[in-house]
């Protein structure tokens, strides 16, 4: 049986602003100030991104970003080889979810990373644009390669 891998990135989030703000403040104000409609969408080219939701429960934020793949020719296919194009309206496309957790006490952002998802590198621009701050920095804490090296040191493949 083939092993399944889940790619998780760990990042430290800092916010540059005067007066000072932190990412917890940004998520709190964003979720109350910006309605859950097209005003949450940042459109950099053919792959708009948006914050679908962010909720705080006790000491942890859970959320989901969405990348919308516009203008792609997609087809559904049958096992007999028959293909049929999927038709989308101009403002529709395939949605790719990116789940995340944020712990305000440590400023650590944990992101489920996968092909087609919202890239972590796009998140700072998104929050800078919508949250009126000078900048958001997201720096890696652990790289997947470091975890793989640690697993090999313990005798795992």
Render pLDDT for 13-44 as a digit per residue (tens, 0 to 9): 999 988 888 999 999 988 888 888 898 999 87
Assess if residue 126 is contained within a domain: yes
46 is in which domain, residue-wise?
A: 8-71+85-153
Please check whether residue 144 lies inside any domain of the structure: yes
Q: Does 135 reside within a domain?
A: yes
Residue 3 belongs to a domain: no
The candidate with the shortest Cα–Cα distance to 118, out of 30, 41, 55, 14, is 41
Domain contains 1: no
Whether 97 is in a domain gets the answer yes
Give the count of domains, the chain: 1
Give 147 or 19, the one with higher predicted confidence.
19
Q: Indicate whether 147 pLDDT > 60.
A: yes
Whether 109 is in a domain gets the answer yes
pTM for this predicted structure: 0.81
Q: pLDDT exceeding 70 applies to what percent of the chain?
A: 93
Cβ density class 32-50: b for 16+ within 10 Å, e for less: eeeeeeeebebeeeebbbb
For the segment 114-124, what is each residue's pLDDT rounded down to a tens digit?
A: 888 899 999 99
CA angle 2, 94, 4 (to 5 degrees): 10
98, part of any domain: yes
CA dist., res. 149 & res. 157, Å (int): 10
């Amino acid at each position: 049986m083939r092993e399944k891998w889940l790619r998780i990135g760990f990042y430290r989030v800092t916010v540059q602003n005067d007066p000072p703000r932190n990412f917890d403040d940004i998520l709190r104000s964003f979720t109350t100030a910006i309605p859950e409609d097209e005003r949450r969408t940042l459109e950099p080219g053919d792959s708009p991104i948006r914050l679908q939701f962010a909720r705080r429960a006790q000491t942890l934020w859970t959320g989901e970003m969405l990348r919308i793949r516009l203008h792609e020719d997609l087809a559904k296919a049958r096992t007999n080889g028959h293909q049929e194009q999927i038709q989308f309206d101009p403002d529709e496309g395939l949605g790719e979810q990116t789940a995340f957790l944020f712990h305000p006490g440590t400023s650590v952002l944990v992101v489920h990373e996968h092909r087609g998802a919202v890239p972590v590198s796009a998140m700072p621009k998104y929050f800078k644009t919508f949250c009126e701050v000078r900048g958001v920095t997201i720096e890696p804490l652990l790289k997947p390669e470091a975890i793989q090296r640690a697993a090999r040191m313990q005798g795992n493949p």
